[in-house]
Amino acid sequence: MTQTFTTKGFQRRLAVAAIMVFTMLLPSLNAQNAGEKVLLTIGNEKISADEFLAIYKKNNVDGEVLDKKSLEEYLELFINFKLKVKEAETLGLDTAASFKNELKGYRDQLAKPYFVDEEVNAYLLQQAYSRKLKDVRVSHILVRVDKYATPEDTLAAYNKIMEIRSRIVGGEDFNEVAAEVSEDPSARDMPAQGYQPPRQGNRGDIGYFTVFDMVLPFEEAAFSMKEGEVSQPVRTEFGYHLLKLQSIRPALGSVQVAHLFLKMPDNATAADSVILAARADSIYKALQAGARWDEMVKELSDDKSSSENGGKLPWFGSNRMVPSFIDGIRSIADTGQISKPVLTSYGWHIIKLVDKKPVRSFEDEKADLKQSLSKDKRSNKSKESIIRRIKQEANYQPNRKALEAFYAVVDSSVYKRKWEADKAAGMNQTIFTLGNQKYNQHDFAAFLAKHQTINSKETIPYFVDKVYNEWVDEQVIAYEDARLEEKYPEFKALVKEYRDGILLFDLTDKMVWSKAISDTTGLQNFYENNKENYLWGKRLKATVITSDKRADVDKALELINNGMSPEEVKEVLVNDKPLDVMIVNKKFSKGDNEFVDKVEWKAGTSPVYSGTAGNFGLVIVEEVVAPEHKTLGEARGLITADYQNYLEARWIEELRDKYPVVVNEKVLNELQK
């Protein structure tokens, strides 16, 4: 194989996948009946036809006829590759710590897809998108219970929420009950406190939201309900909730609105409310009659943070505003139109729809949904699915009694990260089995000691169970990871390709690429022996004067015609206008300069030409230069690449002498057939 001169980092990226080069060079060949027949012997190593074909078939092109010549050319490349890898192994490069670490990094990346359930991920993406197309309006009642609560406290909270549910099912109004008993403070009216004005409670109505706006159990419950339905208790990290689905609407998407706001006075009386409503109606009618929106907002709106900007608010979604405000937006048909006055707990609003961005197609939303999923707890479902499958395949058998024995030996020191595995000394019972592998209490104690906590809210059994589940998941993944090569031949082959690619780079870099750069004497000698390969074609020695301004080039032509030399013209023009005029004197090849390409190749001064970039130029031809050798500096890149090829060819010859190559012609002929 040949390798062009390039940077070392890029060389590594190429070489790590170097074996792929083979799969891109030739059409398909028939792999039937190849079996485990030996195709090659390199030194004392036998290489089967299967190994050769497995690499080759990666770029299989159906229907193309493979001739013997093409097959043999491909085989030569394969042999050269295997020779280099064998030499790297002989030199022990595959035992170096740096090599092992790099290969492990690649293997870890290659293994990741085997621990992702793509079907689950696809389902979650589609589910998230379908939910994104809807806005749900929910009321809820909360009974708080800490997620680390004792079973007794948890049961008490559950019984309490069930009693509340019985009241609602029995006919009491959900929102009235929420205002009375919900432990969400926003449900009840709050009196003025200090600088805080009084606030009207939402009576459990938390407004509209869509996917990813709420904690997952809350979202799951809301999107599984029918309008008017009251849920069973829903447990979240905050406690137990009862949900009532008030309404489902098509997604609002993102909107930008402006509003004219009339603030409700603190401690407003009924009369105050009537007066303010009449005022809002009067303003609305004036706007309908043609009053200018910006002027009315600036003069009358009580939202001083937006009134100077026509009442315009930042972009938002349905979960950012109180539901009556959102419903007001939904009542507006088109951008530029306004709503009727809308009453919220803050006062009256007249809303103008400025712009709207609906939910995009699934393909357009897909990238954002993936990012949101990656940050959400539901992303664990893919991993959980894989772990369940592995447990089932490997006949996972837990020993609950062996686990519960830890409840007695783990104490409060674990909350100070001072618990020691020695406290479980003598505990060696099997705690679970996976396949033919046993994991004992001693193994778990060591893991637990490394995964202590400072969260003293957790009970000892809760903490032990949590860490145990983490440990089991980790061991299940490790169990499967250790068997990937055995279970998946394609994975084994791919890891081997990366292994060989890294070895190929490390040794080829030493013997060819870096050597060609550092061996300056060898490079010079190679150049001297191959000078005839690096020739300039016929060139034109000339001076080119260019400028964006025609007058500057006309002035240059006038000076040239008056007897000035190009050097004198440069002194006059460039010193006068250094940024406007460019003068270049060199040897030009065809295609180097558009103005040089316009002139006849003979001594003399050209007229002024127009350039493709809107500039102007003239050419002063001094002489036509006959073909001559390029210097090493002029052709260093090309010469270095050729020197690399030379070094590689010599190296391959040495390797073929060191490791004799024998091709089984019979098997080779069978492959062609």
Structure-block tokens of residue 355: 């712009």
pLDDT at 148: 87
- Cα–Cα distance measured from residue 281 to residue 343, given in angstroms and rounded to the nearest whole number: 11
| Residue 182: count of CB within 10 angstroms of its CB | 25
- Residues 196, 333: one domain? no
Considering the chain, what percentage of its residues have pLDDT values greater than 70? 92
pLDDT at 22: 42
Residues 6 or more apart whose Cβ sits within 8 Å of residue 306: 258, 259, 297, 312, 313
- Mean per-residue pLDDT, 397-422: 96
CB 204 within 8 A of CB 184: yes
Tens digits of residue pLDDT in 31-57:
334 447 899 999 999 999 888 877 776
Confidence of residue 100 (pLDDT cuts 50, 70, 90): very high
pLDDT at 576: 67
* CA distance to 266, 290, 673, per residue, from 287 (Å): 27, 5, 86
Domain limit, last residue, from 444, 461, 481: 481
645 φ, ψ (degrees, to nearest 5): -60, -40
Tens digits of residue pLDDT in 627-665:
999 999 999 999 999 999 999 999 999 999 999 999 998
Q: Is the pLDDT of residue 183 over 70?
A: yes
- Residues 522, 427: one domain? no
Q: Is the pLDDT of residue 568 over 60?
A: yes
Higher pLDDT, 161 or 190: 161
Helix axes 380-393, 118-132, angle to 10 degrees: 150
Structure-block tokens of residue 197: 């004005």
Position 25 in a domain: yes
Q: Is the pLDDT of residue 238 over 70?
A: yes
* CA distance to 239, 416, 468, 495, per residue, from 148 (Å): 10, 17, 16, 44
- Residues 518, 646: one domain? yes
- Mean per-residue pLDDT, 500-508: 92
- Residues 646, 501: one domain? yes
**SS3 at position 3:** coil
* CA distance to 205, 268, 616, per residue, from 188 (Å): 11, 18, 79
pLDDT at 64: 53
Domain limit, last residue, from 358, 380, 404: 358
Residues 6 or more apart whose Cβ sits within 8 Å of residue 287: 293, 296, 338, 350
**SS3 at position 310:** coil
DSSP 581: E
* CA distance to 268, 293, 300, 327, 450, per residue, from 346 (Å): 11, 21, 16, 15, 53
- Residues 642, 559: one domain? no
- Residues 576, 672: one domain? no
Q: Within 13 Å and on the Cβ side, how many CA atoms surround 93? A: 22
Domain limit, last residue, from 481, 497, 524: 481
- Residues 351, 327: one domain? yes
Position 80 in a domain: yes
- Cα–Cα distance measured from residue 234 to residue 228, given in angstroms and rounded to the nearest whole number: 17
Structure-block tokens of residue 529: 């022996």
pLDDT at 668: 86
- Residues 540, 526: one domain? no
Position 669 in a domain: yes
- Mean per-residue pLDDT, 354-363: 97
Question: Under the phi-then-psi rule, with left for phi > 0, alpha for psi from -120 to 50, and beta for the rest, what region is 209?
Answer: beta
- Cα–Cα distance measured from residue 33 to residue 37, given in angstroms and rounded to the nearest whole number: 9
Tens digits of residue pLDDT in 281-312:
999 999 999 999 999 999 999 999 999 999 99
Question: The tokens 């690449």 sit on which residue?
Answer: 641
Q: How far apart are the first and last CA of the chain?
A: 26
> The domain that contains 618 carries what CATH number?
3.10.50.40
- Cα–Cα distance measured from residue 209 to residue 215, given in angstroms and rounded to the nearest whole number: 11
Q: What sign does the CA torsion over 67, 84, 54, 103 have?
A: negative
- Mean per-residue pLDDT, 318-322: 94
- Cα–Cα distance measured from residue 121 to residue 383, given in angstroms and rounded to the nearest whole number: 10
* CA distance to 387, 440, 626, per residue, from 395 (Å): 12, 16, 82
pLDDT at 31: 37
Q: Which helix (H) or strand (E) holds 48?
A: strand 45-48
Tens digits of residue pLDDT in 465-476:
999 999 999 999
| Residue 650: count of CB within 10 angstroms of its CB | 12
Residues pairing with 267 in the sheet = none
Position 65 in a domain: yes
Position 304 in a domain: yes
Structure-block tokens of residue 57: 């078939």
Residues 6 or more apart whose Cβ sits within 8 Å of residue 219: 131, 209, 211, 212, 213
- Cα–Cα distance measured from residue 540 to residue 606, given in angstroms and rounded to the nearest whole number: 13
Tens digits of residue pLDDT in 430-462:
999 999 999 999 999 999 999 998 877 888 999
| Residue 142: count of CB within 10 angstroms of its CB | 22
pLDDT at 12: 52
CB 180 within 8 A of CB 186: no
Q: Is the pLDDT of residue 19 over 60?
A: no
Span of 127-141, 183-197, 313-327, 509-523 with lowest mean pLDDT: 183-197
pLDDT at 575: 72
Position 19 in a domain: yes
Question: How many folded domains does the chain comprise?
Answer: 5
Structure-block tokens of residue 148: 């680390």
- Residues 612, 497: one domain? no
pLDDT at 578: 65
Q: Got the DSSP string for 436-459?
A: TEEEEHHHHHHHHHHS----TTS-
- Cα–Cα distance measured from residue 187 to residue 181, given in angstroms and rounded to the nearest whole number: 9
Residues 6 or more apart whose Cβ sits within 8 Å of residue 232: 165
Mean of all residue pLDDT scores within the chain: 90
Q: Is the pLDDT of residue 2 over 50?
A: no
Domain interval for residue 584: 536-625
- Residues 75, 210: one domain? no
Q: Which of 293, 299, 303 is nearest to 325 (CA)?
A: 303
- Residues 668, 613: one domain? no
Position 427 in a domain: yes
pLDDT at 65: 52
Tens digits of residue pLDDT in 51-94:
887 777 665 444 455 566 777 888 898 999 999 999 999 999 99
Position 305 in a domain: yes
Q: Got the DSSP string for 100-155?
A: HHHHHHHHHHHHGGGG--HHHHHHHHHHHHHHHTEEEEEEEEEEE--TT--HHHHH
Q: Which of 519, 510, 523 is nearest to 640 (CA)?
A: 523
Question: The tokens 């016929």 sit on which residue?
Answer: 538
- Residues 148, 241: one domain? yes
